[in-house]
Amino acid sequence: MKYPFLSLVENPPPGFSFEPPLSKHDVRSGPFALYSHSLQAAELRLKELGGSFAGVIVTDSDDYVWRPRAFPLFHLGIPPSLRPHLSVLLPSFLELLEAIQFCGDENRRYSLELGRTAEDRQRVEKDFAQSRKSLLDEITERKKFQERYRELFENATDIIYTLDLAGNFTSINKAAEKATGYMLDEALKINMDSIVAPEYFELTREMTSRKITGGGHTRFELEIVRKDGHRVPLEVGSRLIFEGGKPVGIQGIARDITERKRAEEEKLSLERQVRQSQKMESLGVLAGGIAHDFNNLLMVVLGHAELALKEISPMSPARRNLEEITIATQRAADLSRQMLAYAGKASFALERVGLRDLVEEMADLLKTTISKKAILTLNLERGLPPIEADPSQIRQIVMNLIINASEAIGDRSGVITVSVGATRCDEEYLQKTELHDGLPPGLYVHLEVTDTGGGMDAETQSRIFEPFFSTKFTGRGLGLAAVLGIIRAYKGAMKVYSEPGKGTTFKILFPALTDGGDAIRPPDSSARSDLRGQGTILLVDDEESLLALGARMLEHLGFSVLTAADGLQAVDIYRERGKEIDLVLMDLTMPHMDGAEALGELRRLNPEVRVVLASGYGHDDVASRFEGKRLDGVLQKPYTLANLREALAGLMQA
């Protein structure tokens, strides 16, 4: 491409100069290069004038003429002493100068070379007019593009901002104003470090350094602190802004990821709950299995000790030893019942219970249980609906939680608050509790125990329901594990709130009875200690020791006994001698044919056969499995002679 003024710059005529001086670069770039095509023809016509110029007009930055040697060309009669505005000489050229200045080169002074004749002047003006139109069209398009960019910038839902290399804001859009709480004029006065959360300072500096040294994009997550103090998590992508090949700033696009973080937290919470539920279920199965086998062993110890006490002389020195064996065995049976409670397989005597009344009755006992430095306060609402529960189990829950709260306070002064009230729970709230599976929304009566102790971290909270887990010392028993099992059996829920240094709150939810009907009560069996049995009982158990012990206990009560080692053998014996058998006392868990299968076969042989199942599992758990199958009774192992007598009294006398 030819540049019209290049020859004048390289070889100016005698006495001719540009103000300020021009270089080849000035001619090849900037406004001169933009109009090279239109000015090329003007240059050729100017050269035809003979290579000498009658005048040169030079203006200052305000377009006032300060070198008037060309005045005679315009025939305006302007005295050389005056410095008129260029618009007086050449209005079209002035407009072109304004357009050029709009492009940002407002500090340059331009020199204009004109021919001698008015005809040449008109040609030059025409060329300049065409160039002016092209420039104005381009400026119009540029303005439209800028407006579109500004509209996109301001209305974007993502945060858009720019910084200088020192981290000072140079622009933000409306989304950024909304996210940070700072308006544009406020943001332009602060640094990025003013809103970044302190723990992310190092990360932002590292990302900036990485951009400057590597020149690429960076993407990372951080939290900012809004003007009102609230935190907002952001995902940030940013890059360098270059001018002349050098970095001059940073452009960033950020997205508010609050909802995404919340969804991720809910997902993680749900996964933790599922894992916890699976772990508790597995431990429950384990505890239930251990309790079942343990009860069988205790049955042998307790049964033989009781029979020995019946047969030994009251004056025998061994009697005291047998009594101690009996007491220790019953304590072991209590531990076994706790294991069954944890597994959700314990037996309860359910009745309508007023939770407020029950806690109120325990107030004096609770005060003697806690540390002397702890203050116990009760917050008990009135007019609460009753719940369906075993009062002794509820007392166990309250005592367990109170003792834990007292130990959490330790030797320091503190407060333990026991609250009872009603809570209407929706599905979302119940999903965030322990044992939430399948709980219906509705009205729940809550028991809440709060302490001002040291609190628990997340790791400790994840283990508090494990059997025998304790933060104090080993050998504490099942503790909260048993509490959780009891709540599970009542179809309730538990929520734990705790932070290190902020104390702990256990909130237990029991379904409220709102129908006004009577709750289920255990049958009122009037056991007779003087019962002397008559008739024949078929005793079925796969444990040889239990089979021999059970036979001796039944014979002690006056019954005739037939024995079978499993369900299959029991069916065969009943088929042959069913007419002389008055009742079948059968273990539930046996090889070859268990108690459930044997019961079905016996019913086919005789629909009226009377069957009592004995099991190491809880009464209610077994009874619920055989609901609708006309089971005549359940006897939980280990049972004493008194328990056996009570279970058989009504059936064998009917």
What CATH number corresponds to the domain at position 217? 3.30.450.20
Rounded distance between C-alpha atoms, residue 500 and residue 493, angstroms: 23
Rounded distance between C-alpha atoms, residue 115 and residue 117, angstroms: 6
Q: What are phi and psi of 573, to 5 degrees?
A: -65, -40
Rounded distance between C-alpha atoms, residue 18 and residue 27, angstroms: 12
75 in a domain, yes or no? yes
> Which of 145-159, 187-201, 247-261, 291-305 bottoms out in mean pLDDT, i.e. has the lowest?
145-159
Q: What letter represents residue 232's amino acid? A: V
Per-residue pLDDT of 389-425, as tens digits, reads 888 788 888 888 888 888 888 888 889 999 999 988 8
> In b/e form, how buried is each residue of 287-308, taking b as 16+ CB within 10 angstroms?
bbebbbebbbbbbbbbbbbbbb
Per-residue pLDDT of 483-537, as tens digits, reads 877 888 788 888 888 888 888 999 999 999 876 544 333 444 444 455 566 889 9
Q: Report whether pLDDT(101) > 50.
A: no
Query: Do 174 and 245 fall within a single domain?
Result: yes
What does the pLDDT read at residue 572?
93
What does the pLDDT read at residue 209?
83
Using only C-alpha atoms, the chain has a radius of gyration, in whole angstroms, of: 49
Mean pLDDT of 216-241: 88
522 in a domain, yes or no? no
Query: Do 123 and 19 fall within a single domain?
Result: yes
Tokens 């702990």 belong to residue: 504
What does the pLDDT read at residue 155?
77
Three-class SS of residue 242?
A: strand
Query: Do 415 and 372 fall within a single domain?
Result: yes
Beta strand pairing call for 504-511 and 442-451: antiparallel
Cα–Cα separations (whole angstroms), residue 373 to 26, 399, 412, 523, 590: 90, 18, 7, 45, 54
Q: What letter represents residue 336's amino acid? A: S
What does the pLDDT read at residue 54?
45
Query: Do 644 and 500 fall within a single domain?
Result: no
Do 622 and 615 touch, CB atoms closer than 8 A? yes
What does the pLDDT read at residue 459?
79
366 CB-side CA count, 13 A: 26
Go through the chain and tell me how many residues it has.
Answer: 654
Q: What is the pTM of this model?
A: 0.45
Per-residue pLDDT of 544-600, as tens digits, reads 888 999 999 999 888 999 999 999 999 999 999 989 999 999 988 888 888 888 988
CA 652, distance to chain mean position in Å, is: 59
What does the pLDDT read at residue 351?
82
Among 341, 359, 386, the domain-final residue is 341
The pair of structure tokens assigned to 182 is 């700072």
Among 298, 320, 341, the domain-final residue is 341
**Ranges of H-type helices in 156-220:** 174-180, 184-187, 201-214
Rounded distance between C-alpha atoms, residue 557 and residue 456, angstroms: 55
Tokens 């049955």 belong to residue: 299
Rounded distance between C-alpha atoms, residue 55 and residue 93, angstroms: 16
Q: Which of these, 27, 253, 228, 241, lies nearest to 160 by C-alpha position? A: 253
Position 538 confidence tier, pLDDT thresholds 50, 70, 90: very high
What does the pLDDT read at residue 18?
46
Domain count, the chain: 5
What does the pLDDT read at residue 333?
79
What does the pLDDT read at residue 486?
81
Query: Do 233 and 298 fall within a single domain?
Result: no
CB atoms within 10 A of CB 537: 26
Query: Do 235 and 249 fall within a single domain?
Result: yes
Query: Do 51 and 127 fall within a single domain?
Result: yes
Q: What letter represents residue 609's amino acid? A: V
- What string of DSSP letters covers 628-649? TTT--EEEESS--HHHHHHHHH
Q: Report whether pLDDT(654) > 60.
A: no
Q: Report whether pLDDT(71) > 70.
A: no
Rounded distance between C-alpha atoms, residue 563 and residue 565, angstroms: 7
Query: Do 244 and 277 fall within a single domain?
Result: no
304 in a domain, yes or no? yes
584 in a domain, yes or no? yes
Rounded distance between C-alpha atoms, residue 589 and residue 585, angstroms: 13
Burial of 271 (0-12, 13-18, 19+ CB in 10 A): exposed
Position 33 confidence tier, pLDDT thresholds 50, 70, 90: very low
What does the pLDDT read at residue 61?
55
Tokens 């021999």 belong to residue: 548
Mean pLDDT of 134-152: 74
Q: What letter represents residue 230's amino acid? A: H
CATH code of residue 607: 3.40.50.2300
467 in a domain, yes or no? yes
Which residue segment(s) compose the domain that 591 sits in? 536-653
Among 457, 476, 511, the domain-final residue is 511
Query: Do 148 and 166 fall within a single domain?
Result: no
540 in a domain, yes or no? yes
Position 475 confidence tier, pLDDT thresholds 50, 70, 90: very low
Q: What letter represents residue 418's amino acid? A: V
Rounded distance between C-alpha atoms, residue 128 and residue 62, angstroms: 19
Query: Do 567 and 550 fall within a single domain?
Result: yes
Mean pLDDT of 464-478: 57
Mean pLDDT of 52-57: 47
The share of the chain scoring above pLDDT 70, in percent, equals 69
Query: Do 147 and 180 fall within a single domain?
Result: no
What does the pLDDT read at residue 88?
59
Burial of 94 (0-12, 13-18, 19+ CB in 10 A): middle
Do 562 and 581 touch, CB atoms closer than 8 A? yes
Q: What is the dihedral of CA 341, 346, 347, 353, to 10 degrees?
A: 30
Cα–Cα separations (whole angstroms), residue 104 to 97, 107, 139: 11, 8, 12
78 in a domain, yes or no? yes
What does the pLDDT read at residue 568?
92
What does the pLDDT read at residue 514?
75
Burial of 167 (0-12, 13-18, 19+ CB in 10 A): middle
Query: Do 222 and 333 fall within a single domain?
Result: no
519 in a domain, yes or no? no
What does the pLDDT read at residue 277?
67
